Amino acid sequence: MHSHGTAVAAMLVAQRSGRLRDDEAFTAGLLHDIGKLAMNVWLERKTEALIQLSTLNGWSFVECERTVLGYDPGQVGGRLAERWNLPLSVIDSARYHHEPDERPDPSLVVDAVHLGDYLASVLGFGLGADGLQYALQPNTLVRLGLHPQDIDRIADDLERERRLQAESFEEIVA
């Protein structure tokens, strides 16, 4: 649910920006959390301890993962996407979607996924343990050529688009 919400939001961000391909943003959005999915499968027993650490110290979930495990979902996702020979836009979005400014050469796809992930998280599409601590990086809007008021319009479009996609899913399985 969260990955699909992010994919649709990233696609809408790309359409409103007009500076990148919307299909590329959709695919990168769909796969952006592969690192988190892999860690959920392989590290199930440590999740409870990480949540406790986050609550006790007021650290973000990612800070706890870096401290306890020595790596975070972005690093895992980036390495997995590389190993699976996925496109560079997917690798970069998996690795940098929480901190697009960390990429040495900024990427508009990563920016679209960052904003899409932010919208999906704050609008409650599959809110995870770290969903409420999500900080939108202001440079992202500048690079995409968007203004803060565009975020509200994209959020409205997101609700409508998700309803349409749910209807088309019912047609697919009918």
Would you give the distance in Å from CA 95 to the centre of its chain? 10
33 contacts Fe ion (rule: CB under 5 A): yes
Among 24, 72, 92, 117, binds Fe ion (CB under 5 A): 117
Cβ 2 to Fe ion shortest distance, Å: 6
> What type of residue is 19?
R
Q: Which is nearer to Fe ion, 65 or 117 (CB)?
A: 117
Cβ 100 to Fe ion shortest distance, Å: 13
Residue (of 38, 62, 42) closest to 50 by Cα position = 62
Quick check: 108 and 20 in contact, CB under 8 A? yes
Q: Which is nearer to Fe ion, 33 or 92 (CB)?
A: 33
72 contacts Fe ion (rule: CB under 5 A): no
Residue (of 116, 167, 126, 104) closest to 146 by Cα position = 116
* Binding stretches for Fe ion (CB under 5 A): 33, 117
